[in-house]
Amino acid sequence: MSNTISPNVITRSNDSLRVITSLQVPTVEKDKLSYKRSQRHIRTERMFRNTLVIMGILMVLLVLAILVTLCVQSVPSIKSLGLSYLWGRTWDPVQDIYGAYPFLIGTLITSFLALIISIPFSFAVAIFLGEYYPKGWFANFIKNTVELIAAVPSVIYGFWGLAVMVPAVREIEMQLGYQPLGVGIFSASLILSIMIIPYAASLGRSMVQMVPSNLKEGAYSLGATKWEVIRSVIFPYTKSGLFAGILLSLGRALGETMAVTMVIGNTSLLPKNIFAPGNTMASVIANEFTEADKPVYLSALIELGLVLFLVTVVINVVGKKVISRFTK
Amino acid sequence: MKSIKIFATLAIAATMSLGMYSCNNSATGDKKTTDSTTSDDNTLLGAGATFPYPLYSKMFSEINKINGLKVNYQSIGSGGGILQLTNKTVDFGASDAPMNAKQDSGLSAPVVHVPITAGAVVISYNLPDLKDTLKLTPAIISDIFMGKIKKWNDAKIVAANKGVKLPATEIVVAHRSDGSGTTNIFTTYLSKVSAEWEKEVGKGSSVNWKAGLGSKGNEGVSGLIKQTPGAIGYIELAYAIQNNMSYAKVQNKAGNFITPSIASVTAAANIAIPADTKVSLTNTEAADGYPISGLTWILVYKEQKYNNRSADRATKLLKMIMWMTHEGQQYCSGLNYAPLPAAAVTAGDANLKSVTYDGKPILQ
């Protein structure tokens, strides 16, 4: 390639370093046009980079600003309740006693239960679309349908859950001998599990598709069956990706509000079993924020947001640690 | 490039002509043409209770037909309405509960309460096999919502409903999960009739429920009731009537079992109203009054000259409220709200007349 270009024109083979670093002194002889061109390129390049940096910094600032706001607004509640806020089991707006423990438990149980229910489905979709049917109209159809799950507004899941799923759960509860309420932790987890499937499935699918074909072909040529290839080649190769997908799903489940609040039963009592009603932090905030007419009450709700924020951060950090250990 | 410019010019021209058209239209449409300086004063801002919202929007649209006054009312909840009034971002606040001492202390100037309408909270239930209307005494209601009475065929309920066959199903209590004036009226009632309730739970727009399921809004609670066999919950009268829910007769202070209705709510409100109108209609002495009733108020500052408000704006505001408590009352029953009894209107009028602008009374 470089043979065809005149030696005066700066190319990669000529002197790449000088193009990038020498900003003012083009001592080397070049024809005018290409000099101008490269100057313009440098400027665009720098502008683009600056834009990226500014955007990145803005995002970080935004998250920090949210954290600071939450902290500042929680001060009245922290002052009056202290650490008992986290372990207190009573949420009594009348007497200004606030304990977030039932909601913390509710959030964690619903999210993790939803995750456990959703994992088989999302992994199945990921492997099916990634390995068995990566192309064709049928694969596209399934892929789009699964992605559509993520696009449906959560309030619609709530309605569907209330109208269709809750009566079904009530039947199950009757069979099992629990109080047939229908709404409760289990219903909330079910609806959440459906909502979070696409996150793990989409990421998993692209990971499975990225497994180098020579690895798979090698395994096949040694006589491995499809299941063996999936188990010993694809799974080890995609572990970190699949886990990252799970983490993404979990993040979604922790913060989901509308659908959960419609089917969880909204009680501040500690749930006794998974069919009992409960509440999550996000749902409490959404329910009570508008009528929180006392300063400490409002502040306690904001502190709930802070706790939710921190829980999400902790789970993400721990998750990242697990991923890096897993993949080593 | 050229085509984009042409398109932009066209778009601007189109918007401008549209704008001019709408200006012309509004100028001819309104009875009095207003210039830009007074047109702002023709839009009043209000915020507060969700409970009277259907009635208020009807009243405000009627007012708009009469004198072109626009009212922008946001039904963000009573607590929010009081907060906005305290911050002076609205002309009037609306609340289902009178302001308490704590809220009063946050105010920079005194506020007057004007009752607009009365509503009731009914106790709705889901017992499909029950033919008669359920009768409930205050003690039963309190015990059910405390989670003490667990079955429908409990001896106490049977004693109050002689000759009625009650099923052995479990009671599922449904309550509001969001803060609400409805909850406030209901818990105020329970705190009055049960010392235990007052001690253990208390009253407020959200409380620490000892039993049951929560759901958002009247629609959420009635959804739970309709769906769950054996459920019981409290909802607004207007909502229950519109949705054909079955609701119980409740024993009042005089010992009569009263069916909630517009008439029995107005009857409950027919008591001596104090000068500041801050009165709870729960468990009143009225012999044929429904005991779980409550007034809903509009709140305005007693001195209307603040934040550079014009005298014109203050006058319009007061005239509007005056209209609501008089001519506006005709729209109450159609929307299942109880019209105010004469005593409440008189007390409200007195409060309105005490409102001043720069020290001078506005209404004569």
pLDDT digits (tens, 9 = 90+) for A173-230: 999 988 888 899 999 999 999 999 999 999 999 999 889 999 999 999 999 999 999 9
Nearest CA in chain A to B201: A94
Percent of the residues in chain A that have a pLDDT greater than 90, as a whole number: 61
> How confident is the prediction for chain B on average, in pLDDT?
86
User: Residue A311, SS3?
Assistant: helix
Asked if residues B303 and B105 have their Cβ atoms less than 8 Å apart, the reply is no
CB B95 within 8 A of CB B82: yes
pLDDT at B28: 36
Chain B, 103-122: which have a CB under 8 Å from a chain A CB? Answer: 103
B202 touches chain A (CB under 8 A): yes
pLDDT of residue B174: 95
Q: Among residues B258, B265, B273, B285, which one has the least CA distance to residue B333?
A: B265
Token pair in block for residue A290: 């508008």
Q: Is the pLDDT of residue B35 over 60?
A: no
| Domain membership flag for residue A209 | yes
pLDDT digits (tens, 9 = 90+) for B263-309: 999 999 888 888 888 888 899 888 999 999 999 999 999 999 888 88
Question: How far is the alpha carbon of A111 from chain B, nearest alpha carbon, in Å?
Answer: 20
Contacts with B178 from chain A: Cβ below 8 Å? 287-288, 290-291
Residues of B in contact with A267 (CB under 8 A): 209, 212-214
How many angstroms away from the CA of A154 is the closest CA of chain B?
A: 15
At CA B108, angle to CA B107 and CA B111, rounded to 5? 60
Which has more pLDDT, B101 or B56?
Answer: B56
pTM, to two decimals: 0.80
Asked if A291 lies within 8 A of B80 by C-beta distance, the reply is yes
Distance CA B157, CA B134 (A): 9
Q: Let me know if residue A9 belongs to a domain.
A: no
In a domain, A31, yes or no: no
Q: Measured between beta carbons, which residues in chain B are less than 8 angstroms from residue A162? A: 223, 227
Q: For the residues A11-32, what does the mean pLDDT come to? A: 55
CB within 8 Å: B216 and A93: no
pLDDT grade for B102, boundaries at 50, 70 and 90 = confident
- Look at residue A11 and tell me whether its pLDDT is greater than 70: no
With bands split at pLDDT 50, 70 and 90, how would you rate the model's confidence at A23? low
Residue A97 within any structural domain of the chain: yes
Q: B199 at the A interface (CB within 8 A)?
A: no
Average confidence (pLDDT) over B106-135: 91
Which of B78, B82, B75 has the alpha carbon at shortest distance from B54? B75
Q: Over the stretch A82-99, which tens digit does the pLDDT of each residue have?
A: 888 999 999 999 888 999
Cα separation, B120 vs B110, in Å, equals 28
The whole-chain average pLDDT of chain A stands at 87
**pLDDT on residue B32:** 36
What pLDDT, on a 0 to 100 scale, did the predictor assign at position A198?
Answer: 92
Residue at A255 is within a domain: yes
Are the beta carbons of B184 and B169 closer than 8 angstroms?
no
Residues of A near B (Cβ–Cβ under 8 Å) read 90-95, 162, 166-167, 170, 179-183, 261-262, 265-269, 277, 279, 283, 287-288, 290-294
* Residue B80 contacts A where some CB pair is shorter than 8 Å: yes
Q: Which residues of B touch A283 (CB under 8 A)?
A: 177
Whether residue B260 contacts residue B250, with contact meaning beta carbons closer than 8 Å, is answered with yes
Is the pLDDT reported for residue B2 higher than 50? Answer: no
Q: Is position A248 within any domain?
A: yes
Which residues does residue B176 pair with via DSSP β-bridges, in sequence order? B215
Element (H, E) at B95: strand B92-95
Chain B residue numbers touching A290 (CB-CB < 8 A): 76-77, 79-80, 178-179
Q: Which domain holds residue A136?
A: 84-327
Residue A270, SS3 per DSSP: coil
**What's residue A320's pLDDT?**
87
Strands (E), B105-201: 111-125, 135-136, 172-176
Per-residue pLDDT tens digits for A140-171: 999 999 999 989 999 999 999 999 999 999 99
State the average pLDDT over residues A32-54. 86
A53 falls within a domain: no
Report the distance separating Cα B363 and Cα B315, nearest Å. 8
Q: What residue of B is the nearest CA neighbor of A265?
A: B213
For every residue of B188-243, DSSP letters joined together read HHHHHH-HHHHHHT--SSS---SSSEEESHHHHHHHHHHHSTTEEEEEEHHHHHHT
Most B-contacting residue of A291, A299, A304 (CB-CB within 10 A), to test interface: A291
How many domains does chain A fold into? 1
A93, A95, A266 member nearest B215 (Cβ): A266
Tokens 């572990």 belong to residue: A239
> Is there a domain that residue A34 lies in?
no
Token pair recorded at residue A101:
């423990």
Contact indicator for B302, B354 with CB cutoff of 8 Å: yes
Please, are residues B182 and B234 in contact by the beta-carbon 8 Å criterion?
yes
CATH number at residue A162: 1.10.3720.10
Burial A294-321 (b: 16+ CB within 10 A, else e): bebbbbbbbbbbbbbbebbeebeeebee
* Furthest C-alpha separation in chain A: 90
Neighbours of A252 (CB within 10 A): 20
**What are the residues facing B44 on neighbouring strands?**
B71
* Enclosing H/E stretch for B92: strand B92-95
Element at A196 (helix H, strand E): helix A185-209
Instruction: Choose from A293, A297, A301 for mutation: most chain B CBs within 10 A.
Output: A293
For the sheet with B231-236, list strands across it.
Answer: B70-74, B43-48, B92-95, B293-301, B111-125, B231-236, B172-176, B213-215
pLDDT at B129: 86
Q: What confidence tier does B17 reach under pLDDT thresholds 50, 70, 90?
A: very low
Q: Do B227 and A179 touch (CB under 8 A)?
A: no
Residue A17 pLDDT more than 90? Answer: no
Angle between the N-to-C axes of helices A12-21 and A32-81, in degrees from 0 to 180, rounded to the nearest 10: 50
The reported pLDDT for the residue numbered B75 is 86
Instruction: Check whether A261 has a pLDDT greater than 60.
Output: yes
| Cβ contacts of B214 on chain A, cutoff 8 Å | 265-267, 277, 279, 287
Q: What pLDDT band is residue B14 in, cutting at 50, 70 and 90?
A: very low
Q: Does B208 touch chain A (CB under 8 A)?
A: yes
Report how far residue B357's alpha carbon sits from residue B1's, in angstroms, rounded to the nearest whole number.
Answer: 59
- pLDDT over 70, % of chain B: 89
Of B77, B210, B227, the CB nearest to A290: B77
The answer to ipTM > 0.90 is no
Residue A313, pLDDT > 50, answer: yes
Q: Provide the pLDDT for residue A180.
A: 86
